[in-house]
Structure 1
Amino acid sequence: MHFEFQYIYFIWLATAVLLFLVLFAAVKKWKRKTIKKIGEPALVKSMIRGYSPFRFNFKFFLLCLSFLLGVFCVMSLRKPGGDDGIKRAGIDVVFVLDLSKSMLAQDVKPSRLLLAKQFISQMMDAMPDNRVGLVWFAGKAFIQMPISADHGSAQMYVDDASPDVVPVKGTVIGDALEQSLKSFGEREAKYKAVILISDGEDHDEKALKLSKELATHGLMVNTVGIGSPEGSFIPDDSTGGNKLDPATGAPVISKLNQKELQEIAANTKGVYVHLTDINAAVKAINAQLAQIDKKVSADTSLMSFSYYFWVFATAMVLLLITEQLLPDGKKVKET
């Protein structure tokens, strides 16, 4: 186990020492000019014979060192207290789920959405070492849960997923892919993959272009088509019947758009699966994910740490006390 700083990004505060040095140099220059303006050098030397340049410089050094110790204190040095953290040899996987109204169609049982949620649940059970993230989309896309090793929380979000979460109509797969990339927190796509579950009903040219860009970053997108090519009516909860076309009044039929989902997967060296059998789909996706290199990471949320910020805090206080007690001048012998 090694020491680490919990908030390493606070190191930028140390650059303030450069400002202190500039101000210190300005004060020294001002002192020299002032001494020259007073009068004869011999007289001035006699007047300031108790002044100690060394102590003045040393006290400034103590203040700068105290400030740096304060920065290290804020950064919070810590060390894992044991093997509480779970070592995971896995990858980061973002599930991108379509929550448009068309996912309520029942051409697959119990419905497209419920079948998709069952698939995600079984997929997470089949890859316990992988960290997961969630992106929901319909007419807009957003990150529902950032990358995490907490599969329990992810499952709760999946259970609660419904079209009501994203009230904007549409199927913006391109925006969903952008959000999935953001959820990884960096452009480096090593050890990362996306699983897109959708009926792909709306053709999205942006998604096809973006998938080619994602491929250049090494990000694999596996797509899961849900529904049937023949299509089905979309239930309308407000009327208790089926959704109707506002223009014609005829029932709307939602069909699975396999072609777009297949192209997205092919562009990123992923695999397309038509979801009819959950076990078979999980096996196919897992086989594809197995091609991605694994990394070993620790789930720090489950670790206990020993903290050592107090060491820097104690040293900082002692230096500040020393600086205050240290006289500014030197003793002058009486003549």
Structure 2
Amino acid sequence: MIFKNISQFYWFFILIPIIILMIVGYKKRHRQLEQTINISLWSTIIPHLSYSRRFWKRFMLIVGFSFIIIALLRPQYGVIFKQIERKGHDIFIAIDLSQSMLAQDIKPSRLIHAKREVLGLIDDLQGDRIGLIAFSGDAIVQCPLTSDYSAIKMYLDFIEPNLMAVPGTDIASAIKEARLSFQRLSKSNKPILILISDGESFENDPIESAKVAADKGISIYTIGIGTPKGEPIPQFDENGKLNGYKKDKNGDIVLSQLDEASLKEIATISNGRYFNSTLGAFVMNQVYQEISYHEKKRLEDSLLQFHQDRYQWFLAIGFILLFLEIFLSDRKKLIKIPELKR
């Protein structure tokens, strides 16, 4: 047996002092009565009082409340299996893992802030399937669409720029990888891609890739992370210690700037929306509100195991005992002996 609502256990800490006070009070009255009347005379002086009934009244009161408290703990015993129809959205999240995402114009860094955005989305999901794509100079599906949110969190914690084989930033490859992943599935009802990046893309044309995705019914929501002013790109040694900033061929420090224009265009072309996360505020809850307007598709059914509630039995026994306590008198019925006529 397990207890689903163990937080209600504190009621026992309220009941125990009450029981102790009842016992102490009972003994105190008993002692006072002993000092006043000899025990052998009790049945003569107060013949109507039944101490055994008084005991059982208090016993039923205590046990009755104890059973009600156990019912509040929601005891469960045994399991049942139910086939659950699941509905939701298919969502791929593409995170930019280029070196520019290490810039710290968004504290503590653009990449860490992006990961926190995704964690916020995962906490809001309601049965949706989610997948993870990492991209820099190319794109890799780190985790296919899944309902196992703990797996997404594990992959999210693992990905870093140094894991990507090809340097650079290729937003087009991320959009293409998402499109191909959706196409491998059965017909998807309005697939969603959430693209998180600073918008700087130096490889293929992301706008053309967005047009192809839009033709396949994919809506792309873009989140821009960074500032238009720009920030140097830090470089770290093997021990994670700052080792300077990235420089161009002329030896000048490279500034990474947020390119909102391209991100906005990608979102507009694909019937999505652009969100600005440059001030450090989290916007993923707004993104999910937008996504929730799309019709949910039927996902795979799940056979789920549920523990059976048994609180009803404890609740019924508790109320029965309290009911009996109310109607049980602590007085004896005295039998009148008729007087003999002389």
Per the TM superposition, whether the score is higher than 0.5 is yes
**1: distance between equivalents of 2:142 and 2:176?**
14
* Correspondence for 1:119: 117
Residue pair 1:189, 1:217 contacting (<8 A) in 2 also: no
The answer to whether the 8 Å contact 1:104/1:113 transfers is yes
Match in the other structure for 1:194: 193
Q: Counterparts in 2 of 1:11-22, with a 5 A limit? A: none
Of 257-266 and 279-288, more deviation after overlay is shown by 279-288
Cα offsets for 1:74-109 (capped at 9, x unmatched): xxxxxxx97455543211100000001100000001
Distance 2:107 2:185 in 1: 38
Give the deviation of 1:203 after TM superposition. 4.5
Q: Show structure 1 runs of 5+ residues with no match.
A: 1-80, 305-335
Tell me the TM-score normalized by structure 1: 0.62
User: Displacement of 1:242 after TM fit?
Assistant: 3.1
Q: Which segments of 5 or more consecutive residues in structure 2 lack a partner in the other structure?
A: 1-78, 307-342
Report the AA paired with residue 103 of structure 2.
A
For the residues of structure 1 that align with 2:235 and 2:159, how far apart are their CA atoms? 17
Deviations 1:108-149 (A, max 9, x none): 011000000000000111113110011100011111011111
Check if 1:262 corresponds to 2:260: no
Query: Shift in Å at residue 240 of structure 1?
Result: 2.4
Instruction: Tell me if structure 2 keeps the 8 A contact 1:190–1:219.
Output: no
1:249 aligns with 251
**CA 1:246–1:216 in structure 2 vs 1: closer, same or farther (change >3 Å)?**
closer
Q: Relative to structure 1, is the Cα distance of residues 131 and 187 closer, same or farther in structure 2, using a 3 angstrom cutoff? A: closer
Aligned residue number for residue 234 of structure 2? 235
Q: Give the alignment's TM-score, normalised by structure 2.
A: 0.61
- Separation in 2 of the partners of 1:282 and 1:86? 28
Among all aligned residue pairs of Structure 1 and Structure 2, give the percentage whose two residues are the same amino acid. 33
The 5 Å alignment of 1:23-172 reads 83-84=81-82, 86-172=84-170
- The structure whose Rg is larger is 2
Alignment-mate amino acid for residue 222 of structure 2: T
Work out whether residues 227 and 278 of structure 2, in 8 Å CA contact, stay in contact via their aligned partners in 1. no
SS across alignment from 1:155: helix
C-alpha deviation, 1:212, in angstroms: 1.0
State the one-letter code of the partner of 2:265.
E
CA RMSD of aligned residues (A): 2.4
Helix, strand or coil at the partner of 1:298: coil
Q: Which amino acid aligns with 1:156?
A: M
Retained in 2: the 8 A contact 1:203–1:260?
Answer: no
TM superposition shift of 1:276 = 3.9
Spell out, residue by residue over 1:221-267, the C-alpha distance to the aligned partner (whole angstroms, 9 max, x if none): 00000000111011110372333324111111100111111000000
Q: How many residues matched?
A: 224
Determine the C-alpha separation between the residues in 2 that align with 1:169 and 1:277.
27
